[in-house]
Amino acid sequence: MTRRAALGAVTGFVGSVAGCVGLFDGESFPIQRSWQSGYRDPSSVATTADGQLLAGSHSPFRDRPIVAGLDTQTGKTTWTVTAPKGKKSPLGVGDGRAYAFSKAETMVAVDAATGETVWQRRLAPIDEADPGVVEFAPIPLGDRIVVPISGTEDDVPDRLVGVARADGETLFTHTLSASLSGAPGATSGGVVAPLVDGRVLFLDRTGEVGWTQDIGAVLSAVGAADGTAYLGAATEELLALETATGTVAWRGSLANTVFTRPLVTDDRVYVGGADYTLRAFDPASGKQLWRDDLGNAVTHGPMQVGDRLVTLVGGGHNIRGSSGTIPFSPTVLYVHEQDGTRVREVRFDDKSFEGGSIEWAQAAGETVYLGQTFGLTRVASEAITDA
């Protein structure tokens, strides 16, 4: 395990340009940026409570970081932690630490302020698995971290592993009956995990199954809040499940499956569907409050940025289960008011940009970041708030 400071000096690894600009090296970019960095193969971004910006990388190469600290104002890399060669997971962040694991069967906990490795542990077997085995981020859950280890082929056991937050010691291993169909969601007492065989289960913090609910169709990632878990299903529904019992509280009608995690706020549940729509539901009754028809299947979001909603259609997305053929073009970023009013639409398709094509969008610290094939872009805040 190594830590290298000032990695921005390494030729070809980071090339950041600071300032809110819309023109880089003679190439136009469709939305105003604060900066664009040459951070390669970004998997995810996150911020800690004190504002430290972190990034992960999907790259299997040893010289690409499993966790990196970035300067929020310039995008330059300030420190990195690397791991043995192997594709890497997105980041899980909690209590000032970043957590990630790789197909090299290595999991790390990193101090987000200093970039120092707090602990490193081996997780096996992973190395011989398909790349999907590291698709989902570790989940902080109180004094432990739940690690979702699940590929798309029958080459390693699909499982949820609980490790101690303090030192990485394995506390439990729960073998799953099928692959995860989306990212699990954390609740106060455990995690809700969706499976490709159409079942969803609740695993408490000790690794015991509290309940299992058979929905009968592939499920999306889980959004959870206030004792309720929300999932999209290939039954063309948004489901609200009581996390105490697994009982379906209500079913909201959609017109296709869902690829992304529903967004849960105090008074709304928002869901973007493969039916090319963004919808809002009342969390108590399941009544649909509004919908907007978009230009493609929703692959990232919606996410809340200040008092706006940001959603990406198109881009890159891995489909689990049998969802048919979905065209992921065009790639468009949408900005909405919370009442459904569309205030901005930014198209990225059929253009060549510094950093490559747009693969994903993610909100971190009330800022939107765009993951590109060969770079990472921070969208200027005024591009969202003043749209």
Q: How many alpha carbons fall within 13 Å on the CB side of residue 27? A: 12
- d(C-alpha 348, C-alpha 361), whole Å: 12
| DSSP-derived 3-state class of residue 160 | strand
Which tokens go with 108? 């790390």
Going by pLDDT thresholds of 50, 70 and 90, the confidence category of residue 155 is: confident
Average pLDDT over every residue of 185-204: 95
Whether residue 176 contacts residue 150, with contact meaning beta carbons closer than 8 Å, is answered with yes
Whole-number average pLDDT of the chain: 89
Long-range contacts of 70-75 (CB under 8 A, 24+ apart): 70/37, 70/39, 70/376, 72/47, 72/365, 72/378, 73/18, 73/34, 73/35, 74/16, 74/18, 74/35, 75/14, 75/16, 75/17, 75/18, 75/34, 75/35, 75/36, 75/37, 75/39, 75/376, 75/378
Going by pLDDT thresholds of 50, 70 and 90, the confidence category of residue 18 is: very low
Q: Is the pLDDT of residue 346 over 60?
A: yes
pLDDT score, position 322: 61
For the segment 41-75, what is each residue's pLDDT rounded down to a tens digit? 999 999 998 899 999 999 988 888 999 999 999 99
Above pLDDT 70, what percent of the chain? 90
- HEC profile for 113-128? CCCCEEEEEECCCCCC
- d(C-alpha 288, C-alpha 230), whole Å: 14
Which tokens go with 34? 């604060």
Q: pTM for the full model? A: 0.90
Q: Pick from 1, 44, 149, 90: which is nearest to 376 by CA? A: 44
- d(C-alpha 168, C-alpha 175), whole Å: 19
